[in-house]
Every structure is written in C-alpha cells, then in structure tokens.
Chain A
Amino acid sequence: MPVIMIFYYLITAYLVVLLVWNFVREKKKVEDLAQYLLVLIPLVLRILRIK
C-alpha cells in the first residue's frame, strides 16, 4: 500500500474517532446523533476495506 494511502486511512480513522466522540458527548439532539452515525457509515466501510 502506498504511503499516501496509509495517510488517508489515518485521516479516516481520526474522523471516525471525532464522530464517535461527538456521538458519545451529545445528550440533547436526536438529529445530530443520527447524522453522526450516517456520516460514519462510509468511513467505517473504508477502514474495514469493504467499500
């Protein structure tokens, strides 16, 4: 795997951590919770090397 692709996976993992952190901290807005998880789907699929 080229180095630049490894950097992209690291960036993706960082975004996943941010979204999960925001999801855990959110206490009020259901819409925000749903949106965090929707945005997570493609990032998780990429990290798992599925899509």
Chain B
Amino acid sequence: MKRPGIVKAVLIFLFLVLVIQGGLQLYRHRHFDVPVVAGPGVTRVTRLSEFGPGLKKTMADPLVYFLEGKEPGGKAILLSNTHANEPEGLLATLLMIENAVVEKGTLIIIPQFNHSAGRNTRPGDGYPLYFEIPTDWGRKRFRLGNRDASPLDQWPDPDVYIHYPDRQLLSYIDARNVNRTWPGRPGGPLMEKVTFAAMEIMRREKVDVAVDIHGAETMFPVTNCIVAPEKSNRIATMAALTVKAKEGFDSHVEPSPSGFRGLSHREIGDFSDTLPFLLEAPIPFLDQPTGPKTEKFLLDGKDPFLLSLAQKKKLFVPYDASGWPLEKRVGQHCSVTLEILRQYSKKNPERSILVHGIPRYAEIVQDGVGHYFHDPAMADKDKIYLN
C-alpha cells in the first residue's frame, strides 16, 4: 500500500456514511410515533405496566385502551401486533379505538401488544420501514414492525427457548415471540413479563373473551381461520358459519393443538377463565416465494409468483389476480371479532358485550380502511395518543 493514510481516511469516510445513513433511518423508525385519535367510546387509557410492574420504563410497555359501557356486562380483550409484521390486526384495533362505542360491558384493546417488535425492523428480508394508507384527509403513516421483539430490548437469545411452565423446547427465536411466551411469569425474560401482564388483566378484570388478531401466509395451512381451543369451539364455529352465511367470506375454525405450548389460543384458556380466539387473515406479503417485499405488495397482496402457485393448487386460500388486499383482511377481522362478541353475548346474556360504531367487512372493502381514521390535526389534543 503506497499511501496508507489516504486509503484509511477514504475507508473511514465510507464507514461513517454507511453507519450514519443507515443508522439514522433505523433510529427514526424505532422512535416514530403514530398518532391515534381516541374515539367517543374510550373511557380510560393506561399502560400494560399497571398490570405487570416489570415492564415500567421499558420498550415493551404498550398503551391499553379501555372502552367501558354505561351498563355493566361482560369484558373482552383484543390484542394486535402480537406479530408486528402483520398490520391488518393493528389497523383493525386502531379503527375500533377511533370509532367503537360500547353500550354494555367493556372492551380492552392493546393495539401494539408487542411494542418492542413494532419498533423493530427486518432489513434482511427487505421489508419497507413504513407503509401509508390513504384517508379522507391525507395519507396516514404506520411503522412496519417485525415478528419478534428487538434484540435491543431482550438479549441474548438462548440456544433453545424453554417454555414456562411446560418446559417444552422451542426455537431460540421464540424467546422474543410473544405468541410463544404465554402464560408468562413476572420474573422471566421481558416477553414473558408482557404475556404475564396481559394474563393479569384477564384475571383481575375477569375478562370473558380474548381475541388475538394476526395474519398468516397463503402457503401456511393455518390461515383464513379462527383458532380456538375446546372451550371456545362452539362460539368460534357459530361465528365462522354466520360470517360465511351473512357476509360471504370464509373464516373456518382450526382446533388449538394441546401439545404445542406458549400460544395465546392455548395458554389463555388453560391458565384463566377467559375464552381465547386467535384470528388469521391471509397476508401474501409474508409468503416466501414472492417478488420484492414492497409497500404496494403489503397493501394489495398481488404477486405473480403466488398467482402461478395458486393455479398449481399450492395455496391454502383462493387467490386470483385481485390479490388479497388490506381492506379484505381488516374487514374480515372486524366482522369476525364482532361476531364472536355477538355469539358470546347470545349465550351469556348477563355478561353480554354490546358494541356499535365498528364497520363490518362489506363497508371496509367498499370505503377503504383509511376512511375510518380521524385527522389528528383536527382532534382535541387530549384525545391523541402516540402509539
């Protein structure tokens, strides 16, 4: 090397460009807040750490919204962003927070359940950092998160994750996956503290129904469905049959396997009196053999490779050139959730949960998801929560 000083200076310059340019994008994503306009039904907002003190001042302490009716009745908890790369759940619950009014009973909504994962990214898979949806007043921007919590918040990963309390051996990465750490424990790793705090809400508040809202690949057999354990099976079946008959979309029932531990639809039912349900809507963006993971693909679900696979009958859902757009996915989640609440209320009139103001499948498909979000610039400041 003839001039080592100059070569080193050039390399250090390139190093700084890469670190600053890349680092700033990641830093901004982790600290980007989405304004949520609390609707007329929101009566109280707190943080999950109220139920699990180990979460205080961590990045795993999401907001918890209470929508309490004038009349006492049953209680339901809705969770989304358990996996923060499945945004249809997040949009469905935010839409409920901004529009729902509870007449009887209580809705408890945690839209950003894995708060740390919602501020994590997946650059290795080429995920976009954000996505935007059109609204009546402009475009609303959301972070696209990751399936698992950020290693900045829970580290190191174990070689094998040993589930508590069953001691089943799970993949190391599942230590940061809040849909493997149920029912949790107060002194466990951070993600176990998150699920423990949610279990505490269900036990202390005597929650009747828990709905955990997800998205799943079209090539994954457990998709477009309601996953339910034995105790929730009857209500899940009635909800599936009713949305099929009345609203014309499929969301069949899958049994919750008793031998696979750590999942919300299994552990919530086994460790509390709450009836758990897990909703899956197909999200082609998560499939592996697809084109680039663009924002457009996330929103419209259109992909030529999946279309070719559908023609060879390799997918578990019907798939054509119209893809599987976000409106359908969010609409399905809203309708199925409402139907589960209705079926539960029919069976338990003294613990019924009556809600209005939440649009159903056909309305969301027709109007678009963004139509139901309110402009934070026009809202009272005390109604805005940064999520």
| Chain A interface (Cβ < 8 Å from any Cβ of B) | 4-5, 8, 23, 27-30, 33-34, 37, 40-41, 44-46, 48-51
**What is the interface of chain B mostly: helix, strand, loop, or mixed?**
helix
Closest Cβ neighbor of B27 among chain A residues: A50
Q: Which residues of B lie under 8 Å from residue A5 when comparing CB positions?
A: 155-156
Show 18 residue pairs from A and B whose CB-CB distance is below 8 angstroms, ordered by the A residue.
A5-B156, A27-B4, A28-B1, A28-B4, A33-B11, A37-B12, A41-B18, A41-B19, A44-B19, A45-B19, A45-B22, A45-B26, A48-B23, A49-B152, A50-B27, A50-B30, A51-B26, A51-B152
Please, which residue of chain A has its CB at the minimum distance from the CB of B120? Answer: A51
- The one of A28, A44, A50 in contact with B26, judged by C-beta atoms closer than 8 angstroms, is A50
A32 to chain B, nearest CB (A): 10
Tally of chain B residues near chain A (CB < 8 A): 20
Q: Which residues of B contact A46 (CB under 8 A)?
A: 151-152
Interface residues of B in 4-25 (CB under 8 A from A): 4, 7-8, 11-12, 14-15, 18-19, 22-23
Most A CB contacts (10 A, CB to CB) among B14, B19, B26, B30 go to B19
Chain B 154-167, CB within 8 Å of chain A: the 1/0 string?
01100000000000
Cα A37 to Cα B27 in complex, Å, equals 20
Q: Check A4–B156 contact: CB distance below 8 A.
A: yes
Interface of A, secondary structure class, is helix
Residues facing A in B30-75 (CB within 8 A) are 30
Docked pose: A30 CA to B10 CA in angstroms: 11
Does A33 contact B18, Cβ atoms closer than 8 Å?
no
With contacts A28-B1, A51-B152 taken as known, whether A23 is within 8 angstroms of B26 at the C-beta atoms is: no
- How far is B156's CA from A19's CA once the two chains are assembled, in angstroms? 22
CA–CA, A44 to B345, complex, Å? Answer: 54
A40 to chain B, nearest CB (A): 7
Q: How far is the CA of A46 from the CA of B27 in the complex (A)?
A: 11
Asked whether B23 lies within 8 Å of A37 as measured between CB atoms, the reply is no
CA distance A41 to B18 in the complex (A): 8
